[in-house]
Chain A
């Protein structure tokens, strides 16, 4: 007889696998998508978001691609998936304002014991690139001015598919290596229409479009160390050039872009029996990319975050650690020669659904962030929620 419990576990596993292969696209989350190569979308789970983390050194097991060393601490097979909707209000110079919303799936991953260590497959988001813009003007077709509407749409994103392996060196140290493959595509289309919306006349649309597929490699090496009351982790991600390869019918050319080496360092300290303090930092110099972009400015992609976790909180009779955090990270691309950053205040909680012998077998992590992205002429205030589901032991 098949146990309903086993069935439930299989359901979760199947769901993780389905999400792994479907790798949902990243949708528009910011007007800064229109700058350069887009807006970074980090592959973080709900706990990392709540603690304002850069995705490293969170303490305990981690399946995020930015923390190869943390992977070794999983111990048992583990899967994670995260969803992250956001609601954005923007205001810009010229009394322009508006709002939009979107959803993304920044992280889907699974880890499984292998060769005395832990192997992993992760699908993570990297850059969000979707946006639209419309420009209206007039042209003279010989019989007087005719209204033209140029609608440019960019639809696409860059994701990262990672294969990783990590192993504990001894009781204190662990090391891991992740090989990532950049993937995704970008569809850029310009449509010029003639005439008013309700009277387009008989002048046909002009359509110029191009589709590029993204390709590139990344190698992330990392390690973590665990001492009494303190966990420290560091990683370095070395990417290859990012190639945008034009499809056969695309008139536009292939391009290659430099990606920065990203250094990450994070630590989590026990301040007391139930209080954890987390801090992390990322360093990424995108300046080399600026020379390869035609119409964007590059700023720093570095940032830092700090967070506090109160681990003894309980909800519905279960462990439900409360988390608070703050992070500030630079957006690498801007419309003008200025520094643009994203700042967020976050809070959240985890809910341990099942735990055996100190091992978390099922947990959901929820975070809510209130943040702002601002430049001289554009400010975005946003709410961003992240919900992740972690299961183990299947």
Chain B
């Protein structure tokens, strides 16, 4: 016996198709209730400020991360803020040995017999990060002692494990003066030093470890940021001696040396600088909150905290005046990372950044100069939850030590300073807690 009869084989398909079309044509929309009644599990939100002594300990400041060479930018200063002297050292790259020129017949062809007649050393400055608004006098000279761009300091020309050599004269050794030039930020960002052929020939041998340029500022009380430098060479090609062509030689490395080198702060937090400073601390999110009147007025105390109740967690630092010589002139970008093995400090590897933004937490330079006392929040909500839970989402133990550092190390000679644990404005932990009853059945 058939269901649809001998002559209606398509009826079944048609009926099913109708049923499918009937139901599929209706989009599902969940009813949105009118509200007005308390929602099941409706929570309260409270902000809690945990003092330093209840969540953190063992604050230490470590310096020496990276090298001034890593910045790729120079610093010049002479008695800046009454203390800071800084000079920039540069290695000069190989000069061009061949150029395509038009010969006397007008044909272009390569010429490898070039006679360098002279040139110009061009320095490009950063007017924003430089403190001067008036013209300053600069001096260019040639280094005469072997030096290492990675490890050179104000006192040491080379500071490697097996080789430590002081400058004959602190601040770059004895330098052969080449030329002076004026940089006026009102007219541009460049300063040009005129060089003769003998001076240019000084930097011809790129294997000579003593060959290099040193730029210093002669006027006192300013700090200049040097972006880059190059040499414009005037050369005469042998194929057309009546013509002068211009070639460009670049630098192949630079660093800056400065004095005095800042000492670690005895009572505060320091982040940044070149080489860079890091501050580390042990952090423990309290499992039980009690004794905070504002909190206990809303939530029954003592309250046992669960990770899901932490909606926001941030370390709050209060900025303070940085030593004048090292005050930032541009924004400082702070980062916070877990220290994976504190016992290995200062060489412990760090975990990934806890700050969502890849640019870190930006702080304006005024917070460390003209307007100290600014509270800066460094959020790490996910870490705080993991710390309270004891493990991260992968089940790995959560490091209990955090490092505060610059997003890019090193980034600038300037560093950020914050109040430490012994200060009235000591760091504290700010928690936004969302606490609600369990959602129950109606």
- Taking beta carbons and an 8 Å cutoff, which residues of A are in contact with B? 3-9, 11-12, 15, 27-31, 33-34, 36-37, 81, 83, 85, 87-88, 92, 96, 98, 100-103, 105, 130-135, 139-142, 148, 150, 152-153, 155, 186, 188-190, 192, 194, 202-210, 212, 244, 250-253, 255, 293-296, 335, 353-354, 356, 361-362, 364, 377-378, 385, 387, 389, 391-394
Contact = CB atoms under 8 A, between A and B. Distances in A.
Contact of B3 (A131, A202, A207, A394): A394
Given A5-B5, A387-B22, A98 B32 contact: yes
Interface stretch (B233-241, B271-279, B387-395, B430-438): B430-438
Nearest to A27: B28
Given A3-B2, A293-B442, A385-B22, 9 more contacts: A5-B4, A11-B16, A100-B29, A208-B436, A353-B5, A364-B19, A377-B34, A389-B16, A392-B3
Contacts of A190: 39-43, 436, 439
A105 B434 CA distance: 39
A36 to B, nearest CB: 6
Given A208-B43, A294-B442, A393-B3, A4 B19 contact: no
A353 B31 contact: no
In the A-B complex, the 7 residue pairs with the closest CB atoms: A251-B438, A206-B434, A85-B26, A8-B12, A133-B33, A34-B33, A4-B9
Interface stretch (B158-166, B221-229, B307-315): B307-315
Interface in B3-18: 3-6, 8-13, 15-16, 18
Nearest to A207: B308
Contacts of B379: 202
Nearest to A187: B439
Contacts of A212: 441
Contacts of A37: 442
Nearest to A92: B34
B311 A130 contact: no
Contact of B34 (A6, A96, A293): A96
Interface of B is mostly: loop
A340 to B, nearest CB: 14
Contacts of A28: 28-31
Contacts of B356: 202
Given A142-B47, A190-B41, A31 B8 contact: no
Nearest to A98: B32
Contact of A83 (B22, B38, B43, B436): B22
Contacts of B310: 204
A209 B26 CA distance: 29
A188 B40 contact: yes
B441 A252 contact: yes
B330 to A, nearest CB: 24
Contact of B311 (A81, A102, A194): A194
Contacts of B441: 186, 188, 210, 212, 244, 252, 255
A26 to B, nearest CB: 11
B42 A130 contact: no
Nearest to A351: B15
A63 to B, nearest CB: 16
A276 to B, nearest CB: 24
5 contacts: A5-B4, A202-B356, A210-B441, A295-B37, A353-B15
Contacts, number: 234
B289 to A, nearest CB: 16
A333 to B, nearest CB: 8
B44 to A, nearest CB: 8
A71 B23 CA distance: 27
Contacts of A135: 35, 39, 42
B207 to A, nearest CB: 53
B352 interface: no
Contacts of A9: 2-4, 12
A152 B39 contact: yes
Interface string B318-341: 000000000000000000000000
A358 B22 CA distance: 29
B337 to A, nearest CB: 17
B30 A210 contact: no
B107 interface: no
A100 B30 contact: yes
Contacts of B434: 192, 206
Contact of B31 (A31, A204, A205, A293): A31
Contacts of B381: 202-204
B439 A208 contact: yes
A150 B42 contact: yes
Contact of B442 (A8, A36, A133, A155): A36
Contacts of A31: 31-34
B1 interface: yes
A132 B3 contact: no
B132 interface: no
Nearest to A100: B29
A87 B31 CA distance: 11
B242 interface: no
A9 to B, nearest CB: 4
B35 A103 contact: no
Nearest to A380: B31
A207 B309 CA distance: 9
A5 B33 contact: no
A394 to B, nearest CB: 6
A103 B26 contact: yes
A133 B37 CA distance: 10
Interface string B235-264: 000000000000000000000000000000
A192 B44 CA distance: 10
